[in-house]
């Protein structure tokens, strides 16, 4: 059948459908174009915008190390100088008198003799002032401990010592006299720093005094007051005399305490002197 056979109404409908298709295609093409154009425009706008500069980062700076303070080394303390003792001057409280070391001059006498106050004193012998003051303190302490003592002998001058020694020589000979008594000029009693003591228990000038309460207290405590027991048991080969637990010598608190703390029994060993067993 030819187109000439279409009715006008069918041709009109077909024409309208064709126009609608073209319009739809045109609209779709326009939308695509708009998307393309819009995307390009957006890209162009984005590209045209100035890019923000990246934040400036300050260059890393290595801080200068803080110098450590210079420490000044502590100075090494100088050792304390060794004490110097006068062992020779007759007026020195550390003078050493024994069978090898006489007084010099041989008949020297102290000029500061006093009577110890408040202490029983058989013969009324004085001693030097410093030794007397210390002896009074020791007597007070001993009395508080229930062991007061009495002075048998203190300072003996050269001539008195000569009289005693000569009497012993006449009694038993030189060897007998030298065993227990000093020759004149060689006696510690002549220094004015020595006392012979005894207590209420008896044993005056006897070895048994060392076993009494008084003798024991004096041996253990005399150093606190500057006194030492001069002739210990078993020390005869060094000091030259037999055991005399009653014979106390003042040497000052420093020396007496040092000897006590070090366990040194006699002045010869403490001062590094040779033994003095014989004259």
Question: Going by C-beta distance under 8 Å and a sequence separation of 6 or more, which residues neighbour residue 238?
Answer: 266, 268, 269, 275, 276, 277
Dist CA 62 CA 7 (whole Å): 97
Which residue in 157, 188, 244, 268 is the catalytic one? 244
Query: Is 244 annotated in the active site?
Result: yes
What contacts 141, CB < 8 A, 6 or more positions away? Answer: 221, 224, 225
Residues contacting 98, CB < 8 A, separation 6+: 186, 239, 240, 267, 268, 276
CB 185 within 8 A of CB 106: yes
Which residue numbers are catalytic?
244
């Amino acid at each position: 059948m030819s187109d000439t056979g279409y009715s006008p109404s069918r041709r009109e409908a077909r024409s309208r459908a064709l126009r609608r298709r073209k319009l739809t295609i045109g609209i779709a093409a326009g939308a695509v174009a708009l998307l393309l154009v819009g995307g390009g425009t957006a890209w162009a706008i984005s590209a045209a915008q100035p890019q923000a500069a990246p934040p400036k980062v300050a260059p890393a700076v290595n801080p200068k190390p803080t110098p450590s303070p210079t420490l000044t080394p502590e100075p090494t303390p100088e050792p304390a100088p060794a004490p110097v003792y006068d062992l020779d001057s007759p007026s020195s409280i550390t003078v050493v008198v024994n069978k090898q070391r006489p007084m010099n001059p041989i008949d020297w006498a102290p000029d500061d003799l006093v009577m110890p106050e408040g202490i029983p004193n058989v013969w009324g012998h004085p001693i030097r002032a410093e030794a007397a003051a210390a002896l009074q303190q020791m007597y007070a302490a001993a009395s508080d401990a229930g062991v007061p003592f009495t002075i048998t002998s203190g300072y003996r001058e050269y001539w008195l010592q000569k009289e005693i020694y000569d009497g012993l020589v006449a009694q038993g000979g030189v060897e007998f006299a030298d065993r227990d008594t000093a020759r004149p000029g060689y006696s510690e009693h002549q220094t004015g720093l020595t006392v012979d003591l005894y207590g209420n228990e008896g044993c005056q000038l006897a070895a048994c005094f060392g076993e009494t309460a008084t003798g024991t207290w004096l041996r253990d405590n005399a150093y606190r007051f500057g006194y030492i027991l001069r002739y210990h048991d078993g020390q005869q080969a060094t000091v030259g005399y037999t055991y005399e637990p009653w014979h106390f010598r003042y040497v000052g608190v420093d020396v007496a305490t040092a000897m006590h703390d070090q366990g040194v029994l006699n002045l010869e060993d403490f001062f590094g002197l040779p033994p003095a067993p014989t004259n």
